[in-house]
Amino acid sequence: MVRGFLAPATLEEFCARVEEIKTQEPLSYDEMFQRHYVNGHAYFQKILHRMMLKIAVDTFKEELVASYSFLSFYQEGRGFCPPHRDRPECYRTIDICLRQRRPWALFVDGEEFLMEPGDAIFYAGSEQLHWRDVISEGNYCDLLFFHFSRAV
Ligand SMILES: [Fe+2]
């Protein structure tokens, strides 16, 4: 986990964009995870290609291809994330907490991570089992994902 992965100004800008997106664009709904989401929004796709790809390559120390960005909005008292491994498109992931009422544990291979807004977790989504328990009453959580696939 990287504490303060996003500088405060960047976190503020991302959150402002997310609020715009929430009010101005249709959100998709995922029944299984009970969350709203936006897949591959143009603004975050640019961030993916211009900024996050290099960070991912440097951090994971392997050649990667930018796959897609993903915004995930878990509402108050709803939502969970059952134990799973991701598709090959999510071979490597940067998972960033944007806003929440209180930390909501993410488990990766059994290790618990409690993120604050601006923190990030780097993990191997298609290899490491990861999950979150049902979000607690009164809590909410907005997450931003950048996914990378293996370079061929
Ligand atoms: Fe996943």
The C-alpha R_g of the chain, in whole angstroms, comes to 14
Q: How confident is the model at residue 78 (pLDDT cuts 50, 70, 90)?
A: confident
Separation CA 114–CA 109 (nearest Å): 14
Model confidence at 14: pLDDT above 90: yes
90-144 pLDDT, tens digit per residue, is 999 999 999 999 999 999 999 999 999 999 999 999 999 999 999 999 999 999 9
Task: Give strand ranges (E) for 17-140.
Answer: 28-30, 35-39, 64-74, 81-84, 92-100, 106-108, 111-113, 120-123, 130-132
Give residue 114's pLDDT.
98
Q: How confident is the model at residue 80 (pLDDT cuts 50, 70, 90)?
A: confident
CA 132 – ligand 1 centroid, Å: 10
15-58 pLDDT, tens digit per residue, is 999 999 999 988 999 888 889 999 999 999 999 999 999 999 99
Mean pLDDT calculated for residue range 2-13 = 98
Q: What is the 3-state secondary structure (H, E, C) of 22-51?
A: HHHCCCEEECCCCEEEEECCHHHHHHHHHH
Residue whose structure tokens are 């709904």: 29
pTM for the structure as a whole: 0.95
Residue whose structure tokens are 């960005």: 69
Q: How confident is the model at residue 152 (pLDDT cuts 50, 70, 90)?
A: confident
CA 72 – ligand 1 centroid, Å: 11
Give residue 33's pLDDT.
84
CA 109 – ligand 1 centroid, Å: 12
CA 123 – ligand 1 centroid, Å: 10
In the chain, domain spans: 34-74
Model confidence at 76: pLDDT above 90: no
Give the 3-state secondary structure percentages of the chain, helix then strand then coil, rounded to 5.
Answer: 25, 35, 40
> Pick from 108, 109, 75, 78: which is nearest to 94 by CA?
108
Separation CA 26–CA 28 (nearest Å): 7
What lies within 8 Å, CB to CB, of 18 at 6+ separation is 71, 98, 99, 142, 144
